[in-house]
Structure 1
Amino acid sequence: MLRKFKISIDGKEYLVEMEEIGGVPQAPVVAPVAPAVEAAPTPTPVEAATPAPTESTPAGNDAMPSPMPGTILKILVNVGDAVQENQPLMILEAMKMENEIVAGKAGTVTGIHVQQGDMVNPGEPLITIG
């Protein structure tokens, strides 16, 4: 994809055309399968009015931190998935741009600490790869 940018350096403007090459093709996203859960008691009308708490895995010190503030648009992996170094893990929208969060190392996803739609701040844990 060819993109054009206007860059100003020391007061002089330059028109630059850039082509994105070497991008990692995106694999089709498969909807996550919910784990089997024991039947919960039927909620009373009061319980039904309160939102259910979101389940998240507690983050350890080895969790990948968010590089910038933004909103999680897509999560591309599930807990238990084997990932390779530089494999896209999730899409983080920041300042109207979609940024791929990629694996810093190869391993297995042991915890996902955010959900689609979550707003994150820099340094907040996103995902753990063991």
Structure 2
Amino acid sequence: LSEYMIPPEATQVSPLIPFSPMPGGALTANTQMMRDSGDLEKFDQVIAAMKEVVERGGYGTSVTPVSQFYWQQAYANVMFGPWKQIAPGYGRMVLGYFGKTPVKADDEIIKFASEKLDLEPTTENPLDIADRDENKSIDHWIKVLEDEGLEATDENIFIAGACDQKGIAFLKGEGPLMIRKGKNNSGEAEMAGNYTVVVDGKKYSVQVAEGDADIQVSEAAPAIATAAPVPANGVGGVEIHSQTPGNVWKILVSPGDSIKEGEKIMILEAMKMEIDITAPKDGVIASINVNVNDTVADAQLLATME
């Protein structure tokens, strides 16, 4: 195990956790995703936000997958503002699609989830709902596996049905391994270097080094403004930026398409959650500045429109 990275939070005791139902397995999986996305500094805020998410969501038992639903919704509330986005799993839970929660979910959250997901609340048995969904049938996934040139064994059917396209990618050997080895095993080596920090509005250049090295702190030189690059395929006057790190999952429009305010331009995936990127106004798409499967940073330009 000495070769592998052990997340520091997996070896520590956090006083925040008892107040937010975050099982250990879900904890490290989610902090690793935040670490990969570069927003791990918001971890404490997400944990703190979970209390309201659990209370207003009906106190569903916090085991897989509900603990992930809670985390996704708390993450969305921190990254996009309170109750601006709905995590699909959390939304379906409060609407009753996974059965009855121990306590009735908050009426405002039920209404919000219904509007965002375009689904009505239900009291129907979840098994009956699932039986009507052809995409959850064994025959459907046998056909998907055959179309992908994969053997339709019981194990493969389970993996594909449970994980959808990520399961197919795994079975084809195309999924990322996400194994951390070498110098990343402690996280300490990555900290060495030069950093700029802001204290009371003033910027300082700070050196970080291991051991007893001589550390120098000096006031940072002002940054020189540079012009932003203009995309080759044209640019519109209205810019649409990412609000969180993630991956581009689907692009739904093309340059030249007319679009109404609130309509989807593309869908990002972040923290196992779909993030809708919508038009801020009526207009025409001028440029799409990313491609499907691209990794995007926080505040990165995604598209422009007129």
What TM-score, normalized to structure 2? 0.27
- Amino acid of the structure 2 residue aligned with 1:113: N
Distance in structure 1 (CA, Å) of the matches to 2:241 and 2:261: 16
**CA–CA distance in structure 2, aligned partners of residues 95 and 56 of structure 1:** 31
* Greater fraction of residues in helix: 2
Distance change (3 Å), C-alpha of 1:88 and 1:24: farther
Residue of 48, 51, 63 corresponding to 1:8: 51
Quick one: distance in 2 between partners of 1:129 and 1:89?
Answer: 10
Match of 1:21 among 107, 114, 121: 114
Aligned twin of 2:244 = 68
Q: Corresponding residue for 2:282? A: 106
Residue 100 of structure 1: CA displacement?
0.7
- Partner of 1:78, secondary structure, is coil
Runs of 4+ in 1 over 6 A off after TM superposition: none
Alignment-derived partner of residue 128 in structure 1: 304
**What CA distance in whole angstroms lies between the structure 1 residues aligned with 2:256 and 2:234?**
16
Report the number of matched residues: 94
Q: What is the percentage of aligned positions where both structures have the same residue?
A: 32
Superposition deviation, residue 22 in structure 1:
2.2
Distance 1:69 1:114 in 2: 13
- Look at both structures and tell me which one has the larger radius of gyration over its CA atoms: 2
**TM-score (norm: length of structure 1):** 0.61
Task: Give RMSD over aligned pairs.
Answer: 2.9
Q: Measured at CA, do residues 76 and 56 of structure 1 come closer, stay the same or move farther in structure 2, by a change above 3 Å? A: farther
Flag the structure with more relative contact order, 1 or 2, with Cα contacts below 8 A and sequence separation at least 6: 1
- Cα offset for 1:63? 1.7
How much does 1:21 deviate? Answer: 1.2
Q: Larger % of strand: which?
A: 1
